[in-house]
Amino acid sequence: MLKLCLKDLLAARWFLLANMTVLLLYALQPYFSAGFIMAAGGVVVIAGLAIVFFLEDRDKTEILTLSLPVKRSAIVGARHLLGALFLAVCGGIVFGVIAPLGTVIRSRSDAAGLSRLLSIEAAVLFFVITLFFLALYLPLYHRFGFGRGTIVFLIAGIALVSLGAAGLFAILPAAPAPGRELGTAVIGSVRAIRSSLGTPLFLLSAVAVVVVPFAISLRLSLRFYARREF
Amino acid sequence: MEYALEIRNLSKSYGDFRLKDVSFSLPRGYIMGLIGPNGAGKTTIIKLVLNLIRRDGGEIRALGFDNLADEVEIKSRIGFVHDTPFFYEHLTLANVRKTVAPFYRDWDDALFRRLADEFRLPLGKRFKKLSRGTKMKFALAVALSHKADLLILDEPTSGLDPVFRRELLQKLSAFIQDEGKSVLFSTHITSDLERIADFITFIRGGEIVFSSPRDQILGAWAVVKGGPELLAAEHRALFKGHRQGAYGVQALTAAAGEVHRRFGRDAVVETATLEEIMFYMTKGNGHA
């Protein structure tokens, strides 16, 4: 699986680097809130995978990959691993670079909002939500291929985000101003959940929430990809 | 006899195409040409061997292994060249090599460099900048560099100039000099196979028409030229297909000796080329 990941990284390295740079440039703009930055991080994770899949689709290298001495299950596993790797890297950029850098270089009021990124709640929220979308994209890609899979994912993703946002506006205790403050309000709510559960149980629940959809995604992807014909 | 490839009762349906109970065997140490018109099922067979598509029934054994149960083992010992080489277009050849080489336990980098020199491959150039011939040479160099025991080539010579085609055929002949190496070579350019193939498998409409040693085919099959009496009811069974023109009848037979005995000097019997066999079996008005 590692060899497959390295192959994809080698093929897409410059495109991925550009993708990450866009995230950095975007996130360091003074007018973006913590929620926007986390969302951008998530988009960059999915975009990273989409770049790899796009190159594979453009040059039809999937036929090459399937002709190499590897099992289909290893190919699917490698793609999930790659998604997790992009998530770790983007998570590192958002929480290890943007958040601390932002609090230093931004104005006092902006920095205060951004400092919410430097919390366990924000990190958990980022990883859970992004992994959920990864878990949605990967089976769709393995079922329909790059073009149709990405379109179906985008439609489903936009629908889910819209529904989620509408739901949050309805249930959050102090309804925030649309857009800008939603992320920080959600982080605040997650903080409340952490306080009521206690940190160890909160983290354990977060791991469970992440592992279950990802495992289902892997299983579905394996099933779909075993049936695909090239 | 040991076989490099054994296919038994292979079947596959998709859309309006059906591969019907395909069976043939390629002994180790030989080159087999897989011929047939476009859409006959040549690429489908190769895709089934490589598990790119799923079979509906039958069995495929390569180098003694089952192609489903021992997929990784088989693929590590098969070199493949697809009709269009599917490598990352924006990478240099040196980097494309890096995306492929780590997957093969027997990858021989010195051999790859030697082949790259021999084929004059510009390793620093991007794949997309290469001509079709150079792309095919690169694919061949990759296929040969992991010391494969079986080479599978799907239409590698189509669209290539005669110089490169001859070069490729020489390379394949040299490849099987190493005992135990075998080649399955799908093409519709039959003249290539007359030069190098030991066995010919002819597929038409998803069915095997014949799979035999080349010399046996070229010895038995003939084009018969004569008058309309060739098509008389009592002789029709001798012919697999015919063309009728203003100057007489030309027909294909797999029983050259019998035709000679029946018609004597009233018909001209000439050894059929693979192209003629393919033509009459595909386009000629068939009888059999």
Distance from CA of B157 to the nearest CA of A (A): 19
Give the amino acid at B91.
L
Residue of chain A nearest B152, judged by CA positions: A67
Nearest to B188 by CA among B137, B153, B213: B153
Question: What letter would DSSP give residue B82?
Answer: -
Half-sphere exposure of B165 (CA within 13 A, CB side): 18
Chain A residues lying within 8 Å of B90, measured CB to CB? 55
pLDDT at A40: 86
A62-93 in b/e burial notation, b at 16+ Cβ within 10 A?
bbbbbbbbbebebbbbbbbbbbbbbbebbbeb
Tell me which chain B residues have a C-beta less than 8 angstroms from the C-beta of A5: none
Nearest CB to A68: which of B75, B88, B91? B75
What's the pLDDT score for residue A6?
A: 95
User: What percent of chain A shows pLDDT beyond 70?
Assistant: 85
Assess contact for A134 and A45: CB atoms under 8 A.
yes
- Closest by CA position to B153, among listed B46, B282, B40: B46
pLDDT at B234: 83
Q: Is A2 exposed, middle or buried (0-12, 13-18, 19+ CB in 10 A)?
A: exposed
Strand, helix or coil at B206?
coil
Per-residue pLDDT tens over the stretch A18-50: 988 887 787 767 666 777 788 888 999 999 999
Residue A60 in contact with partner chain B when CB distance is under 8 A: yes
Which chain A residues touch B103 with a CB distance below 8 Å? 3, 68-70
pTM: 0.84
In chain A, which stretches have pLDDT less than 70?
28, 30-32, 102-103, 105-116, 172-184
Tens digit of pLDDT at every position of chain B (288 positions): 789 999 999 999 988 899 999 999 999 999 999 998 888 899 999 999 999 999 999 999 999 999 999 999 999 999 999 888 899 999 999 999 999 999 999 999 999 999 999 988 999 999 999 988 889 889 999 999 998 999 999 988 877 788 888 888 888 888 888 778 999 999 877 887 888 889 999 999 899 989 999 988 888 889 998 888 887 888 888 888 888 887 788 899 988 888 888 888 888 888 888 888 888 888 766 554
pLDDT reported for residue B257: 83
| Per-residue pLDDT at A112 | 56
